Amino acid sequence: MKTVKLVTNKEGGLLNQPYSSNRTVSFSTCSEIQDDVAKMLTGFYYCREGVIGHFARFFSEEADEENIINDDDEPRQGLYEHKDVPTRKTSVAVHTNVGKASDADIEVFESHMKRAIKLLNHYERRNKWFLSEIYKTNHSSGKENLIYLLKSSKWWMTSTHILSLYLLLIRLGEYGFWDKIGKSTNNSEVLSYFSKIKENQHDSRNVSGNQPKKWNVLLDNRKKIYGGRTRNSTFGFNKDHFTVKTDGVYALCSNESYDKETKRKFAELCKEAKLKF
């Protein structure tokens, strides 16, 4: 596994890390890798929609430069300007804090990341997208902070819903059964594994019922659903409340999205696929 340098912030520490004292997995959107270096664009956040909300500020026509770079409530939430926002590849850093980690702790997280790549690659092969790659990182935030960097297809940044699914699939890499996925694994077998995530287990809500089948509808029909729209539109922003107008994949698959255009098109495609809400 290759290693790249990850620039966290000017002081060398991590940004906005309310979960840094435990072993939850959190995310930060990053610049693309250039000369083996990537920069964090936002802090690390546990909530997937929180990550997306801060990333959406870079596409907001209503949000001014001061708020994008330095929010009053959460100082230094973003360090870099629009020129650093990825366009050719999705770039995300994945973090966990392991304290005084043993080799076993490190191996567990690395295995999680490798399984996440297998799961992402399955969906990427279906759509003939660039296959996600994973990197270790050199950073100045201490050995207790394990951080990997993922480089993936730009199509994962099509909308808040698809980026939400991308982050969810990375988090679901914690389950060992994804080790069984290979290039020839068919989609029905992958779908069967989601049923192994029992109620009350981590992220069980997101894989309940027919939601994973709807992910296929979303990804396989990306152009039909979002064709002709810009990221300024699909990462819409509410200037009054400074929150993302649209939302995550769970809301979309539950027919509760605030994005009326996407909600309508997606519902029609699900009906054609005989998937009920």
At 244, the pLDDT band (50, 70, 90 cuts) reads low
DSSP class of 36: T
- Do 59 and 49 meet the contact criterion of CB atoms below 8 Å apart? no
Q: Smallest Cα–Cα separation from 45: which of 116, 93, 103?
A: 93
H/E segment holding residue 111:
helix 103-127
pTM of the model: 0.89
Question: How many angstroms separate the CA atoms of 172 and 161, rounded?
Answer: 16
pLDDT at 242 over 90: no
pLDDT category, 154, cuts 50, 70, 90?
Answer: very high
**How many residues are present in the chain?**
277
Residue type at 29? Answer: T
User: Pairing mode, if any, of strands 133-138 and 37-39?
Assistant: unpaired
What are 146's two structure tokens? 């394990």
pLDDT given for residue 9 in this prediction: 62
**Sheet of 133-138, strands arranged across:** 26-29, 89-97, 145-153, 133-138, 3-7, 37-39
Say what angle helices 187-194 and 103-127 make with each other, to 10 degrees: 130
Structure confidence at residue 44 (pLDDT): 84
Residue 101 confidence class, pLDDT cut points 50, 70, 90: low
Rg (C-alpha) for the chain, rounded Å, is 18
Q: Give, as one character, the DSSP assignment of residue 98.
A: -
Confidence of residue 65 (pLDDT cuts 50, 70, 90): very low
Q: What is residue 275's three-state secondary structure?
A: coil
pLDDT band at 81 (very low <50, low <70, confident <90, very high): low
Q: How confident is the model at residue 72 (pLDDT cuts 50, 70, 90)?
A: very low
Q: How does DSSP assign 153-212, residue by residue?
A: EGGGGS-HHHHHHHHHHHHGGGSGGGGG--TT--HHHHHHHHTTS-TTSTTGGGGSTTHH
CA distances from residue 160 to 18, 43, 46, 129, 156 in whole angstroms, order as listed: 23, 18, 16, 18, 9
pLDDT at residue 78 tops 50: no
